[in-house]
Amino acid sequence: MPFDARSVPALSPATPRGTSANPRAVAWWLLSVAGLIWIMVALGGATRLTGSGLSIMEWAPLAGTLPPLSQAEWQRLYDLYRTIPQYQLQNAGFGMEGFQRIFWLEWAHRFWGRLIGLAYLLPFIWFWWRGAIPRGLMPRLVLLFALGGMQGAIGWFMVASGFDADRTAVSPYRLVLHLSMAFILFGVILWTALGLLRPAPAVTDQGLRRQVIAAFWLAALTMLAGGFVAGIRAGFSYNSFPLMDGQVIPAGYLDLAPFWRNWTANVAAVQFNHRLLASLTLLAALGAAFAARRLPAGFARKAVWTMAAAILAQYALGIVTLLHVVPVSLGTLHQALAVGVLAAGLCAWHALRPQPGGKP
């Protein structure tokens, strides 16, 4: 996530845009949008794991709001789907009933994206009209709306990659791009809301802050690696823990050339890297939690401990998901909990940020 806590201006009720400025109401609206994005990420996980994402082969931002309303329209969409490799190689002959089953999940995923757009735009217009948006926040809110629209285009860019003649799923690179943008949007919206609700740092502890930041970025790298695990279905291999086929470093770790392709296209390397980053993240988070004992009781200490607990839960869930060969339920939950880790890490980081004008 390309933003630095030090670059976020301190926002408070003392810096209103107008006499009706209401930072807390704006913050709760943003938190609601962040919650909708959280659900969207979970829906995206279920869509990917069930292979539903390629069932709708048209990008119709307005017309696609309604599902098919006639048997002829259902047949047209089914005939389109039957032209792509995923149907021909994986789902041939599963009939209209099978198509409708995957269609509804993808339609719900896209509909939820449209709902997020409305949940953002309509209150934004209302708050702007009422003068409730704090001074200096408007450019960021406009940018977030633009990025949300871009995310829809990235989603279609990802889906379209699955129509190629040699593919039965979307490009893992485009999948990671789409997932990363969702995390960025969620993170910036959450950080902005926290700035409105808690304009002053909870406590200043530079050493602990550095530990929390290290754990946060390790978690972000783990999520990025997890995107490639999902993209090349690496979780369906090496379903043992802690060893991989009886080895610490699996055979074939460096089989691909050039070297960097192992990190994104080699099943053994991609899964090993995800495990390694997850383990380093957990160690960093536990270290931060231990160090947080010296903080006074309050929000900052609770935030650091919650971050560590979320990472520990995600680590355990990842192991269980792997051992059970990635069932849809556990895989979806694992992707959803990643957003919880992101949220907990940002709350801890935000609570420990330096005083305005102080040392970084």
Q: Residue 168 in contact with residue 89, Cβ under 8 Å?
A: yes
78-92, 273-287, 346-360: least confidently modelled range = 346-360
The encoded tokens of residue 282 equal 């957990």
- Residue 5 in domain: no
Do 355 and 248 lie in one domain? The reply is yes
Residue 142 lies in domain:
20-199
Do 290 and 354 lie in one domain? The reply is yes
Asked whether the bond before 258 is cis by omega within 30 degrees of 0, the reply is: yes
- Residue 4 in domain: no
Residue 357 pLDDT: 54
Contacts of residues 78-82 at CB distance under 8 Å and 24 or more positions apart, as own/partner, are 81/54, 81/55, 81/57
| pTM for this prediction | 0.91
Do 108 and 29 lie in one domain? The reply is yes
Contacts of residues 67-73 at CB distance under 8 Å and 24 or more positions apart, as own/partner, are 67/103, 67/104, 67/107
Q: Residue 169 in contact with residue 28, Cβ under 8 Å?
A: no
Q: What confidence category does residue 360 fall into, taking pLDDT thresholds of 50, 70 and 90?
A: very low
Phi, psi dihedral angles at 163 (to 5 degrees): -90, -5
Do 164 and 301 lie in one domain? The reply is no
Distances (CA, A) of 106 to 15, 31, 49, 71, 156: 43, 25, 11, 19, 12
- Residue 105 in domain: yes
Supply the Cα-derived Rg of the chain in whole angstroms.
Answer: 22
- Residue 59 in domain: yes
- Domain count for the chain, please give it: 2
End position of a domain, from candidates 150, 177, 199: 199
How many angstroms separate the CA atoms of 337 and 226, rounded? 12
End position of a domain, from candidates 146, 176, 199: 199
pLDDT tens figures, 163-190:
887 888 899 999 999 999 999 999 999 9
Do 164 and 261 lie in one domain? The reply is no
End position of a domain, from candidates 176, 199, 222: 199
Kindly tell me if the per-residue pLDDT of 224 is higher than 60. Answer: yes
Do 244 and 295 lie in one domain? The reply is yes
The amino acid sitting at 83 is: T
Q: What confidence category does residue 356 fall into, taking pLDDT thresholds of 50, 70 and 90?
A: low
Please give the average per-residue pLDDT across 319-337, as a whole number. Answer: 97
Average pLDDT, the chain: 91
- Residue 68 in domain: yes
Q: What confidence category does residue 2 fall into, taking pLDDT thresholds of 50, 70 and 90?
A: very low
The amino acid sitting at 92 is: A
